[in-house]
């Protein structure tokens, strides 16, 4: 277990940089990466941080410094990773519904690409033949993930090439002599049960004989982390053991070594992040006691978009008697960040910490209601470093033509 960032540090950050504020704890990211390395120590595994979870240049650079590679979901994420001085050999591009020009651009930048459709595979073959290696994202028809919105491998999902179309894949590979080096699946996010990954591995090991150039199997991301206190995440040690056993057995049976790749996003950064917010208004009615705060769905959309639970603590009144609060945002929508939470009495002016805000927090923020996106701070080696300034009204106007 890794302890939460201590309240005095979070309070200091709020005082120094104001709220709403995202704070990330570097050591927590390192701890998460080390625990992955440890869990998979018995097999040849490479990790690519799914940059879309949290894309700040300082985070990309820090993750790179740990020895972790980077998985990108758009050409701009690739450019950000390069800007963070990540070597192109350490960058993966896994996307969908993109124009082929983005794939050409990624290849020109020296990045490894996964194609996600027969159409893109054919274009890749026509354009590059066997001169540049490529990976194929398959749709395994496995239903998994925290909820349907984040489930990506099921039989009606838009992602990947359906495994039923394997014959067409093989026909394209043979007619253009395409050098397919990886097979990829990503079944969804928040997959708690290690057996879902085992199901995916079995499927890929059943077909990999038909892909003689494949040297690595990419199992995507989607490890679950706890959001509720005492909740369990994916059992990484169980998964690490299963991976080692299955790939070792396969190697013994066939003499073929397959490296394994993972693309963890949430697992690396989720628990490292805190969204700090100040209570503006207390409001009571017959049924509820509301605490209205200076953030909302514009800055953390997960509670509304995914019905996600985020634990909330009162940093500045921790020893007060407990009461029940519904914590609501300041946007003109029903943006409930936490319903009926028992917590130490909240006063106007208290600073609350919304936990597990590192992944898909800032990165999904918008300027809805013309509110400004918050600042981001990295706590590393005992000091707080501003890694993104707070937006200003000028930032909102900048891209609009003059009146």
* Residues binding ligand PLP (CB under 6 A): 50, 52-53, 71, 73, 94, 186, 189, 220-223, 263-267, 359
Cα 29 to chain centroid, rounded = 12
Indicate if 332 belongs to the active site. yes
Nearer to ligand PLP among residue 149 and residue 347 (C-beta):
149
- Tell the smallest beta-carbon distance from residue 128 to ligand PLP (Å): 21
What are 143-149's contacts with CB under 8 Å, separation 24+? Answer: 144/187, 144/188, 144/191, 144/193, 144/196, 144/222, 145/187, 145/188, 145/189, 145/190, 145/191, 145/222, 146/188, 146/189, 146/190, 146/191, 146/224, 146/306, 147/190, 147/306, 147/307, 149/305, 149/306
Cα 284 to chain centroid, rounded = 37
Q: Which among 103, 86, 93 has a CA at the least distance from the CA of 182?
A: 93
Cα 239 to chain centroid, rounded = 19
Q: Which residue has the tokens 């605490």?
A: 291
Nearer to ligand PLP among residue 34 and residue 288 (C-beta):
34
Please, are residues 329 and 293 in contact by the beta-carbon 8 Å criterion?
yes
- Tell the smallest beta-carbon distance from residue 263 to ligand PLP (Å): 4
Give Cα separations from 158 to 121, 124, 140, 153, 309 (angstroms): 16, 20, 12, 8, 27
Nearer to ligand PLP among residue 71 and residue 122 (C-beta):
71
Nearer to ligand PLP among residue 17 and residue 24 (C-beta):
24
List, in order, residues 6 or more apart from 137 with CB less than 8 Å away: 94, 96, 114, 115, 116, 159, 160, 161, 184, 185, 186
- Tell the smallest beta-carbon distance from residue 94 to ligand PLP (Å): 4
Q: Out of 68, 72, 270, 332, which one is annotated catalytic? A: 332
- Tell the smallest beta-carbon distance from residue 222 to ligand PLP (Å): 4
Nearer to ligand PLP among residue 125 and residue 265 (C-beta):
265
How many whole angstroms separate alpha carbon 138 and alpha carbon 151? 14
- Tell the smallest beta-carbon distance from residue 49 to ligand PLP (Å): 9
- Tell the smallest beta-carbon distance from residue 268 to ligand PLP (Å): 8
Tokens of 169: 């894949």
Nearer to ligand PLP among residue 120 and residue 343 (C-beta):
120
Query: Which residues are part of the catalytic machinery?
Result: 332
């Amino acid at each position: 277990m890794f302890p939460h960032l201590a309240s005095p540090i979070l309070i200091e950050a709020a005082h120094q940089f104001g709220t709403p504020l995202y704070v990330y704890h570097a050591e927590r990211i390192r701890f998460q990466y080390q625990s992955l390395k440890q869990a998979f120590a018995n097999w040849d595994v490479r990790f690519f941080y799914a940059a879309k979870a949290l894309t700040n240049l300082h985070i990309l650079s820090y993750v790179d410094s740990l020895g972790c590679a980077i998985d990108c979901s758009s050409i701009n994420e690739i450019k950000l990773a390069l800007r963070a001085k990540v070597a192109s050999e350490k960058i993966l591009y896994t996307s969908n519904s993109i124009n082929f020009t983005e794939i050409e651009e990624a290849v020109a930048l020296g990045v490894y690409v996964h194609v996600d459709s027969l159409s893109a595979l054919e274009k890749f073959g026509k354009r590059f033949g066997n001169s540049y290696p490529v990976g194929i994202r398959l749709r395994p028809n496995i239903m998994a993930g925290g909820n349907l919105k984040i489930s990506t491998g099921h039989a009606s999902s838009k992602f990947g090439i359906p495994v039923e179309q394997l014959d067409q894949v093989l026909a394209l590979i043979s007619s253009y002599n395409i050098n397919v080096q990886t097979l990829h699946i990503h079944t969804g996010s928040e997959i708690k049960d290690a057996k879902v990954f085992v199901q995916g591995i079995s499927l890929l090991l059943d077909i990999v004989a038909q892909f003689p150039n494949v040297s690595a199997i990419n199992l995507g991301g989607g490890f679950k982390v706890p959001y509720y206190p005492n909740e369990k995440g994916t059992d990484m040690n169980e998964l690490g053991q299963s991976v080692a056993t299955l790939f070792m057995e396969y190697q013994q049976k066939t003499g073929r070594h397959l490296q394994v790749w993972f693309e963890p996003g949430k697992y690396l950064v989720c628990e490292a992040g805190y969204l700090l917010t100040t209570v503006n208004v207390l409001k009571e009615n017959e049924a509820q006691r509301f605490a209205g705060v200076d953030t909302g769905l514009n800055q953390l959309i997960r509670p509304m978009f995914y019905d996600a639970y985020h634990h909330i603590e009162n940093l500045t009144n921790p020893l007060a008697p407990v009461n029940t609060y519904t914590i609501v945002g300041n946007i003109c929508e029903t943006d409930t960040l936490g319903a009926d939470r028992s917590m130490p009495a909240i006063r106007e002016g208290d600073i609350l910490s919304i936990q597990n805000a590192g992944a898909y927090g800032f990165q999904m923020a918008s300027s809805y209601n013309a509110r400004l996106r918050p600042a981001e701070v990295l706590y590393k080696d005992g000091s707080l470093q501003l890694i993104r300034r707070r937006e200003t009204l000028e930032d909102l106007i900048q891209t609009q033509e003059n009146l």
